[in-house]
A and B are shown apart, each in its own frame.
Chain A
Amino acid sequence: AQKVTQAQTEISVVEKEDVTLDCVYETRDTTYYLFWYKQPPSGELVFLIRRNSFDEQNEISGRYSWNFQKSTSSFNFTITASQVVDSAVYFCALSEFGNAGNMLTFGGGTRLMVKP
């Protein structure tokens, strides 16, 4: 069975601070995908990144970066120089490749509040 844990339920930072959101996952599959989604107050889910289990390269996209460590089953997300617009709930999710339809299992989410 797959499981995703986001231990931080809420994080509050001041604008321009860097912040890391943790994500730890459990799966028995050797082939799987990891995702991060952003959910602003309006409710829609915004896709941020997908990483497959064979690609442990870290990725950087603007102020966002992701650190995938298979050895610790973690897929952490860092926002550099945070901005007020980054305030949202962020979800980490896992999809096992062999899962019918590739259903997603979401972590509990981390609410990020960036204060001016």
Chain B
Amino acid sequence: GAVVSQHPSRVICKSGTSVKIECRSLDFQATTMFWYRQFPKKSLMLMATSNEGSKATYEQGVEKDKFLINHASLTLSTLTVTSAHPEDSSFYICSARSRGRSNQPQHFGDGTRLSIL
């Protein structure tokens, strides 16, 4: 079946560091990828919708300069948390939708646990 690979699975770094998270669709082309954030014991909140070849669409309240999204190819989207601070510590999950298969469920990555010291 379709697989989405998310890397890294865990990051621990100092405050002020920028962290890049990759989301790859391994056996399908994904025109649309989604980035979610999950605080401990909370639900998943959509941060942004990433469209290949165009600018990402951010949800209200999400700082686009803080969370840079690049979707340069049909199989890769990246989320960069710039100058991360402890409040950015969270679980980030990406998902991807197959190109031309809008009636299929999204495929989720395994998530990235980000801890900023």
Task: Give chain A's interface residues, CB within 8 Å of chain B.
Answer: 33, 35, 37, 42-45, 47, 50, 91, 100-109, 111
Alpha-carbon gap, A106 to B44, bound state (A) = 6
A102 touches B43 (CB 8 A): no
A44 and B43 in contact, given A102-B102, A103-B34 (Cβ under 8 angstroms): no
A45 and B105 in contact, given A103-B46, A106-B43, A106-B44 (Cβ under 8 angstroms): no
Interface majority SS (helix, strand, loop, mixed), chain B: strand
Alpha-carbon gap, A64 to B91, bound state (A) = 28
B49 touches A45 (CB 8 A): no
9-residue interface stretch from B11-19, B79-87, B107-115? B107-115
A101 touches B111 (CB 8 A): no
B97 touches A101 (CB 8 A): yes
A47 and B105 in contact, given A100-B49, A101-B34, A101-B49 (Cβ under 8 angstroms): yes
Task: Please give the distance in Å from A96's CB to the nearest CB on chain B.
Answer: 12
